[in-house]
Structure 1
């Protein structure tokens, strides 16, 4: 199947069939952009630490996450705001306490196979 867009069809290729396979693997640009945004959220050590803590322990409050990560409460709240906006975590209110949990299962898999797998190696 020939997938090279018309605006790139005149470019010389070495392995044309592999180029088509690569284009198919890349897929929709919007999907790629969405994943890039998710990985950008993981790129910050503080946010990654929060996600690792939530992945391993389940729901935790801001103050508990601050103690676990060594971050200050306002920094944890700001990071959680970004993670919530990105759809990675959600807060569950229990009276005056809000406990956050990881809800993006694709990110949970990345953490499990990537970061946590690296720790075991």
Structure 2
């Protein structure tokens, strides 16, 4: 069980090869934490709506995101602050307007398969 960390090497596996394949499949613990943080960003419906709008229509301004998502401008700004801090979006000034775009290609890849649903009222 060459891939099992030393602190777990004393445990008896049922299938050593499967354990090693599972450890290799998990990969670097810091990568796992990074992906968990990405998924956490997607787990809140408001953030997900903002991310989908930025991904599919960006670069886009806060006021336009508020209209598109139905979320207040203040809440959109707070959401964008979280997304900027995480490196998921970036901001660029366009005259007096700040426009946001998706900056994390891994998040873009997660958002791509999400279908846009027809809007019904």
Name the CA distance, whole Å, in 2 between partners of 1:79 and 1:50: 8
Name the CA distance, whole Å, in 1 between partners of 2:7 and 2:51: 41
Q: SS at the partner of 1:14?
A: coil
Name the CA distance, whole Å, in 2 between partners of 1:56 and 1:93: 19
Matching of residues 36-55 of structure 1 within 5 Å:
36-55=36-55
Name the CA distance, whole Å, in 2 between partners of 1:49 and 1:71: 9
Aligned partner of 2:26 in structure 1 is 26
Aligned partner of 2:2 in structure 1 is 2
User: What's the C-alpha RMSD, in Å, of the aligned pairs?
Assistant: 1.5
Aligned partner of 1:102 in structure 2 is 102
Greater share of helix:
1
Aligned partner of 1:116 in structure 2 is 115
Aligned partner of 1:60 in structure 2 is 60
Name segments (4+ residues, structure 1) moved above 3 Å. Answer: none
Name the CA distance, whole Å, in 1 between partners of 2:87 and 2:20: 32
Return the TM-score normalized by structure 1.
0.90
Name the CA distance, whole Å, in 2 between partners of 1:7 and 1:104: 35
Q: SS at the partner of 1:116?
A: coil
Q: SS at the partner of 2:87?
A: coil
Q: SS at the partner of 2:11?
A: coil
Q: In the alignment, is residue 12 of structure 1 matched against residue 27 of structure 2?
A: no
TM-fit CA distance, 1:116: 2.9
Long gaps (5+) in structure 1: none
Matching of residues 76-95 of structure 1 within 5 Å:
76-95=76-95
Long gaps (5+) in structure 2: none
Name the CA distance, whole Å, in 1 between partners of 2:85 and 2:35: 14
